[in-house]
Amino acid sequence: MRSIIVAAGMAALAACTPPLDPSDDSDTDPPVETDTDTDTDTDTEPVEEPPERVVIYQLVVRHFSNTTTTRRVDGTLEDNGVGRFDDIDDDAIAGLKELGVTHVWLTGIPRQATLTDWSSIGLPPDDPDVVKGRAGSFYAVRDYFDTSPDYATDPTKRLDELKALIERLHDADLKVLVDLVPNHVARGYGSVVRPDSDFGAGDDPTVFFDPDNHFFYLVDPPGQALELSRPEGWNPAGVSFDGRYAREDGSEPGRTPKVTGNDVTSPRPSANDWYETVKLNWGYDFTSGTASYDPRPATWDTMDEVVAYWQDLGVDGFRADFAHLVPGEAWTWLLQRARDRDPDAFFVAEAYDNLIGLQDTGFDAVYHDAAYDALKRLYQGRASQGDVDGVYLGLSNERRHRWLHYLENHDERRIASPLVASGSEDGSGFGSAAAGRQLGPLQFLITNGPVLIYNGQEVGEDGSGVEGFGGEDGRTTIFDYWSLPALQGWVNDHAYDGGGLTSEQAALRDWYGQLLTGPVHDPDVRGSGFWGLEYVNNSTANPGFPDDLYTFARFRPGSGRLVLVVVNFRPGASVSAPVRLPADLLDAAAIPDGADVRRIFDQTGQVDGAPVPTTRFGLTQGGISIEVADQAAAVFEVTAD
């Protein structure tokens, strides 16, 4: 159950706020939105055909199919095992389809720097000083044109085995995404597949910035040497560190230290920096604000070659890491180039700044981190329900479908990790896997944009345990060889039948499947209509109404039907209340005087509630009598009778 500290965040909404003008496209304006006019004749107009809803499953190949249970701290590949391409077979893929997935993000595919020795196939281990974890970070790419031999049954045929997996996913009508890490690469970057296309090839290392260089070089003062640190708690057995790196020891111009991936311009990055990476130069000098894009900088063409290479392998799109650190002009060019090759190429931006700008460059979806953070603060008692409402209602109608919503990904703590009343959402989970039953309908139905499920979320993986470099942080490590105990119950020795799940885990996976195959793909949820309802359902506008219910509606304009979502934020108790719908919402959705109300989804999954007849007066004045269980959400449909 959720901690009682949440009660501090359940502040009442202060006032009744009228709907926004439907033509308003502000991303900062307050509370209620609709993409429609309110003409009562909309039911005579053609009803829009909404596009397919995108459901992305983040599948970490290193972990997903790994059935080894050793889980030794700082364990080697031989100790802790690894997932492989061949293990993601037709049964596994059928299970993803059953869950409602449309796109599979194969995480960690480009070959990363690692301490694992593959000298037998010409891939020796990297210097330990520039690797995080034995396995290595997915976001320290060592060769953009290769994949990790860890994942292959026959390491010499690793790319063939990856292509076969992509074909299996395509045969099941699933789209495939891979990582694009455009801001930085591993310090030891060097391609064995396309060495002539290496980042750094042809650079002038005697200058800090040149638009035709791939990297930034620390030339002032001359002769500097890279000095590296690492977390004090990371001391894997048999691994030696000396804090030096020969390729950046300053002994000659070709060994000049480079700027670290998170913009550190010192040759002594700290243990908390992205010290294992070097920043790429897109023709923008981040230290001075100087930009030079004509002629086109070298990094643009090299990264375009990378994107084209993966598209040629069959990849349908990319999740771009820290996309806001790349100039918008570069994205506009790069995305257009990709869509010249494949008009349907799908791009997701992980970003925390310049979000609207990234949408304008052509990204199909941008992380809506503000919504995730607001929910975390609410759970911690550091925000009110009104704060959360403001975040959702700050999304413009025109852009609502271009935000990616999630409750988990590899950067965030697992939902089931402990709830901590700290000063930062980074230090806390949501307290239990059950929180997904409350927050999933909210995050996944609030817009008609893409949603993300992280492997293991659907069975309540809690991210507990010290894995190695990843430490005890409530996340699943992206640095270490590891396996996921809850997900292994579904994998069940590659039967992918859930035979090893507890009844609670199996029920949770079934619930996610029903949410993602039912309400998420509902035509009205996929439609453009959104209407926030807090302005009519609060104790100021409706005395006696419990302020800890959160309400909103989704609809296709003129369809004669709307979907009502009600979330209970009262700690430790169910809530009953009459939820009212305003007349202008009924007009926009073309709900006539006579209507039926029916419960269609709740904490138990899909339900077939008995229709309750009502009138327009009953909907607008008396309200719909609704009860929502503790730490739960419920979905209702309102249809013309």
Residue 11: the pLDDT is 27
Query: Does the pTM of the predicted model rise above 0.95?
Result: no
Residue 422: the pLDDT is 81
Region 47-59 average pLDDT: 93
The token pair that represents 263 in the structure block: 């913009």
Query: What is the distance between the alpha carbons of residues 560 and 242, in angstroms, rounded to a whole number?
Result: 69
The token pair that represents 50 in the structure block: 């909404």
Least confident of 19-28, 254-263, 444-453: 19-28
Query: pLDDT at residue 14 above 80?
Result: no
Name the nearest CA neighbour of 357 among 383, 326, 391: 326
3-class SS of residue 555: strand
Confidence band for 45, pLDDT divided at 50, 70 and 90? low
Query: pLDDT at residue 48 above 80?
Result: no
Residue 596 β-bridge partners: 613, 639
Region 417-426 average pLDDT: 90
Which residues neighbour 215 within 8 Å (Cβ) at sequence distance 6 or greater? 199, 200, 203, 205, 258, 259, 278, 279, 280, 281
- Say if CB 639 and CB 560 are below 8 A apart: yes
Query: What is the distance between the alpha carbons of residues 521 and 516, in angstroms, rounded to a whole number?
Result: 7
Residue 13: the pLDDT is 26
CA 585 centroid distance within chain: 31
N-term to C-term CA, the chain:
39
Residue 16: the pLDDT is 28
The token pair that represents 574 in the structure block: 């169910």
Confidence band for 7, pLDDT divided at 50, 70 and 90? very low
- Say if CB 575 and CB 548 are below 8 A apart: yes
Query: pLDDT at residue 2 above 60?
Result: no
Q: What is the CA radius of gyration of the chain?
A: 26
Question: Half-sphere exposure (CA, 13 Å, Cβ side) for 237?
Answer: 6
Residue 591: the pLDDT is 96
Query: pLDDT at residue 458 above 80?
Result: yes
Tens of pLDDT, residues 520-538: 999 999 999 999 999 999 9
Cα separations in angstroms, 339 against 311, 365, 545, 546: 10, 15, 50, 49
Question: Helix, strand, coil shares of the chain as percentages rounded to 5?
Answer: 30, 20, 50
Name the nearest CA neighbour of 406 among 364, 379, 443: 443
Residue 116: the pLDDT is 98
Residue 1 β-bridge partners: none
What's 215's DSSP letter?
A: B
The token pair that represents 16 in the structure block: 């009744």
- Say if CB 460 and CB 416 are below 8 A apart: yes
- Say if CB 60 and CB 487 are below 8 A apart: no
DSSP sequence for 358-410: HHHHT-SEEE-HHHHHHHHHHHHTSS-HHHHHHHHHTS-TTTGGGEEEES--T
- The domains found in the chain, sorted by start residue, are 4-51+524-640 (2.60.40.1180), 55-192+300-520 (3.20.20.80), 200-279 (no CATH)
Query: What is the distance between the alpha carbons of residues 316 and 313, in angstroms, rounded to a whole number?
Result: 9
Residue 354: the pLDDT is 97
> What number of residues does the chain have?
641
Residue with tokens 């202060």: 14
Query: pLDDT at residue 8 above 70?
Result: no
CA 250 centroid distance within chain: 39
Query: What is the distance between the alpha carbons of residues 380 and 421, in angstroms, rounded to a whole number?
Result: 5
pLDDT over 90 for what percent of the chain? 90
3-class SS of residue 317: strand
Residue 49: the pLDDT is 84
Name the nearest CA neighbour of 142 among 109, 170, 164, 119: 109
Query: pLDDT at residue 1 above 50?
Result: no
Region 121-135 average pLDDT: 98
Region 189-207 average pLDDT: 97
3-class SS of residue 297: coil
Q: Is the peptide bond before 592 cis (omega within 30 degrees of 0)?
A: no
Residue 193: the pLDDT is 98
Tens of pLDDT, residues 309-357: 999 999 999 999 999 999 999 999 999 999 999 999 999 999 999 999 9
Which range has highest mean pLDDT (38-47, 330-339, 537-546)? 330-339
> How many C-beta atoms surround the C-beta of residue 167 within 10 A?
12
Region 384-402 average pLDDT: 94
